[in-house]
Amino acid sequence: MRRVFSMVLVGMGFLTLAASSGAESPAPGDSERRFVIAIHGGGGVRPRDEMTPELEASYRAALRRSLEAGYEVLAGGGDSIDAVEAAIRVMEDSPFFNAGKGSSFNREGIVQMDASIMDGRTLDAGAVGVVQRVRNPITLARRIMDSSPHVMMADQGALEFAKAQGLTIEAPHYFYTERKWESLQRRLRQGTEYGKRPSKTARITPDSHAFGTVGAVALDARGNLAAGTSTGGREGKLHGRIGDSPIIGAGTYANNATLAVSSTGLGEHVIRVVATKTMSDLMQYEGMSVDEATRAVIGQVAEMGGSISVVAVDQDGSVTMPYSGDGMYRGFVREDGVYEVRIYEE
Ligand code: ASP
């Protein structure tokens, strides 16, 4: 169901958002400048029978907080790239999603995180792979974009750069969540593909523990697009494995001429179809809409036996959030305050 944020600005720009259900704001007039932010908290949703009403409310609240953070930036006239970073940081700080604090463990029981961010106006990008202990890898990706001569860094060097940049570094136990730890132990005991015989080509059904990943895409009032993605990666992955999330053109892409898009799904598939750049190319060279382009690539991945879900927005502010499987933690809010938060098919 669509709801409407009624925006109350209190004191020093502090924003609270009150929802009134059911209502639809009128579409913005020509004189109003459009902006929108859309987020995902991963395609591997908890099965419905594991989702209590309390848990569902907590997920929805976390998604809403992330939307609020992005909305606050955009409503204040800020840049889409800042809105994307702000929204993702909220999900990284939540234990509910497979990114930052809630990251999945690799096979050695270590959290190694991947993230990337891209500015559709300049095509600037920053990315980090298999980094440990950095509280907000999306901010590290942003710093790599803004304050280093590189696009992508990894592992120890990336951690050293984060420290030099003054980013918050956590002790390893900060990233420990019992649910993720128990899940890894189960996976290793079962000796599934993930634990014992990693395979690139196996048909793998996304489950709520193996996957996750968070992402955001935004269009700001100046018409600039941006996208970002952050993840703990595939649970039980080999130490040093890098997925699609930090790869520009695979997990994340933004170009003012086409779209901003963030994906979630099995990286081993997403990388090989260069998923998000292919979506952009389908719009640019084949004239597809954002919805057609994203669905075309989702179909291509499905033919490989994989599964990918995305959130995307184009220059007109059209948002699409197609997913494979049972659902995707997702939502959007636009300039008139209309927002949606969804988990399953609703
Ligand atoms: N794409 C991520 C990876 O393969 C996982 C996910 O999206 O859930 O690392």
Q: Using a 6 Å CB cutoff, which residues line ligand 1?
A: 42, 44, 98, 211-213, 231, 233-234, 243-245, 264-267, 270
Q: For residues 243-259, b (16+ Cβ closer than 10 Å) or e, as one string?
A: bbbbbbbbbbbbbbebb
How are beta strands 152-154 and 125-131 bridged, if at all?
parallel
Q: Which residue has the tokens 């389908």?
A: 282
Cα angle at 43 between 137 and 45, to 5 degrees?
Answer: 110
Site to substitute for ligand 1 among 231, 238, 323, 326, most atoms within 8 A of C-beta: 231
Query: Atom 9, ligand 1: which residue's CA is nearest?
Result: 233
d(CA 327, ligand 1 centre) in Å: 15
Residue 237 Cα: closest atom of ligand 1: 9
Alpha carbon distance 83, 224 (integer Å): 11
Residue 234 Cα: closest atom of ligand 1: 9
- The answer to whether 154 touches 130, Cβ cutoff 8 Å, is yes
d(CA 188, ligand 1 centre) in Å: 19
Site to substitute for ligand 1 among 114, 234, 263, most atoms within 8 A of C-beta: 234
Site to substitute for ligand 1 among 199, 245, 268, 329, most atoms within 8 A of C-beta: 245
Cα angle at 81 between 78 and 86, to 5 degrees?
Answer: 80
Closest CA to 232 of 124, 42, 102: 102
Q: Which residue has the tokens 């128990």?
A: 182
Alpha carbon distance 6, 152 (integer Å): 40
Q: Which of the following is catalytic: 139, 213, 258, 320?
A: 213
Q: What is the DSSP letter of 238?
A: P
Q: What six digits make up the tokens of 28?
A: 């913005």
pLDDT score for 129: 98
d(CA 44, ligand 1 centre) in Å: 9
d(CA 186, ligand 1 centre) in Å: 19
d(CA 30, ligand 1 centre) in Å: 39
Query: Atom 4, ligand 1: which residue's CA is nearest?
Result: 267
Residue 50 Cα to chain centre, angstroms = 23
| Edge-to-edge order in the sheet of strand 308-314 | 252-254, 259-265, 308-314, 319-320
Q: For residues 292-317, b (16+ Cβ closer than 10 Å) or e, as one string?
A: ebbbebbebbeebebbbbbbbbbbeb
Residue 232 Cα: closest atom of ligand 1: 9
pLDDT score for 210: 59
Q: Is 213 a catalytic residue?
A: yes
| Phi, psi angles (nearest 5°) of residue 161 | -65, -40
Straight-line distance from the first to the last Cα atom of the chain, in angstroms, rounded to the nearest whole number: 8
Residue 43 Cα: closest atom of ligand 1: 8
Q: Determine if the pTM surpasses 0.85.
A: yes
- The answer to whether 187 touches 207, Cβ cutoff 8 Å, is no
pLDDT score for 191: 72
d(CA 98, ligand 1 centre) in Å: 9
Which ranges of 241-313 would DSSP assign to H, the alpha helix? Answer: 267-270, 275-286, 290-303
Burial of 67 (0-12, 13-18, 19+ CB in 10 A): buried
Q: Could you give the C-alpha distances from 104 to 99, 154, 211, 345, in angstroms and in order? A: 8, 18, 8, 25
Q: pLDDT in tens for each of the 346 residues of the chain? A: 667 665 433 222 223 333 333 223 334 444 468 999 999 999 878 888 889 999 999 999 999 999 999 999 999 999 999 999 999 999 999 999 999 999 999 999 999 999 999 999 999 999 999 999 999 999 999 999 999 999 999 999 999 999 999 999 999 999 998 988 998 999 899 875 554 444 554 444 445 555 679 999 999 999 999 999 999 999 999 999 999 999 999 999 999 999 999 999 999 999 999 999 999 999 999 999 999 999 999 999 999 998 999 999 999 999 999 998 889 999 999 999 999 999 998 7
